[in-house]
Structure formats: structure tokens, C-alpha cells
Amino acid sequence: MRRVGVFGWLLLIGTLTLLSACSNSTQQLRDDQIVHCLSPTRRPELAAAAAALDKSVRASGGLIVAGGATMEPRQWRDKDPTAFARACQAMTYVPPAKAPDNQLPAVVSILLPVLAGGAVALFSTEWRNASTVAVKHADDLGDAADAFFVAAREYVVARGRNQTPQAGPYEEAFEKLAAQLAKVGRFRPGWGKVAEARRTLMEHLTREKAHNGDVQQRLDDLSNQLARFDQALRRPWRPHRGVR
């Protein structure tokens, strides 16, 4: 749902950009328009435009007769800026180029950069977030694995010396590693080797198995497999065949 919401915002931004680009609302006079309309050679043209737009106004050469007063264009501008702007805009109006029959290319040229930029930003954010989560899983899995292998090897060494090993540290580390493997399995459901590694742990590396038999080879195999998981989590852009 969050991705749909982001796309909706991108579409809204693109639409507003398009409407803004296509707007033909009246704008304020630019400086070059004002200079053009008040230039001595253009005053008669300005007066004629004013008279054409307002029947109460007459043009007298380069002068404007309005409200019983005869004024120069600059005086008329100060007295009636709205009328001046209207006449000046009419005088400097440039007809727009004929619009193409197919408006789709124009729409696409406006919307596409907006949507493309938003998509790139969204993808970058999603990729960065996913990479951060993957590294966190790798760190947690590494911590759990280190604790388990230390406890398991201490247990095996104690048994080999006919000593009484401590069951607590082994079982605690065992449960944490099993839980972390389950989290990685949910995070990367396509990685079948994760479930396989967890089965090996649960079936062949319990404390009872370590107490009654030789588990050193299975510990080494599991250690190598967990190292591959660590690399795959930290470098998702590379192919990792040993995890599927």
C-alpha cells in the first residue's frame, strides 16, 4: 500500500506540473513590455490599442484622451494601471505556435521526467532500506552462530576429557541460533539452504547429539554454510548459488 501511495503522489505532482505548464492565465507585464509600450515610437500604437479596447478612450497621436483629460502614456499608466496593462498586453501579444494534433508527446515529455525521477528515488530508498535490513540479519546471525560454536566446541572438548560439560550455555546458544535461522528464512523465503541448515541444527546438533556422538564434522559444515548466508545477505547484488 505504501508504494501505491507514493506512486499516487508522483502522479499528482506530474499532473500539477502539466497544468502549470499548460496554463494561459494573464500574467503581469514584463519589464521589456513596459519599455516597449512607453517608447516614443510606440506611443501612437499604444493609444490606438487603448481606444480599441475602451470606447470612452480616444487616441490623439501619441496621447490618450480619457475622462476628459489628455495624457501622455506614462501619465495614463499611473492613473489607470489596469487599462494600461490591458492595452500594452494587446499591443505586444504574440500568437502562440499552432499546437500539434497529437498532444500525447507533450504530455509525456512533462510527466515522464517527473515520474522517472520519482521512481529512481523510490527504488533507491527501497534498495537502501532492504540492504540495511539484510545487514542487520547478517549481524544477528553471525552473533548467534559465534555464540553457538563456542558453546558447542567447549561442550565437545569437555566430553572428550571426561569432564561434565555445562548444558545451559549450549542450549541457550542453540535456541538463539535456531530462532535467527528462522528469521532469515522468513526474510529470504527463496533460500532453501536456510531451512536445510536449520534442520541440520535441530536434528543433528542438539545437546543430546553432542553428548552422545561425534558432531565435529556437522559443526564444520554448518559453519561453512552460515558463512555463505552472511556473504549473501551483505552482498545481495551478487549471485549466490549456495543459498538456494
pLDDT 10s digits, 35-66:
888 888 888 888 898 889 888 889 887 899 98
> Is residue 190 classed as helix, strand or coil in its secondary structure?
coil
Q: Rounded mean pLDDT of 156-168? A: 87
Q: Is 61 helix (H, G, I), strand (E, B) or coil?
A: coil
Helix, strand, or coil here: 56? coil
Give yes or no for residue 152 having a pLDDT over 90: yes
Bridge partners, 59 (sequence order): 64
pTM exceeds cut of 0.85: no
Coil, helix or strand for 72? coil
Joined together, the cell numbers standing for residue 226 give 552460515
Q: Give the pLDDT confidence score for residue 123 in this predicted structure.
A: 56
Q: Let me know: does 34 contact 71? Beta carbons within 8 Å.
A: no
**Which CA distances in Å does 134 have to 139, 177, 230?**
9, 17, 9
Positive or negative, the Cα torsion across 207, 210, 212, 215?
positive
Report the mean per-residue pLDDT for the chain: 82
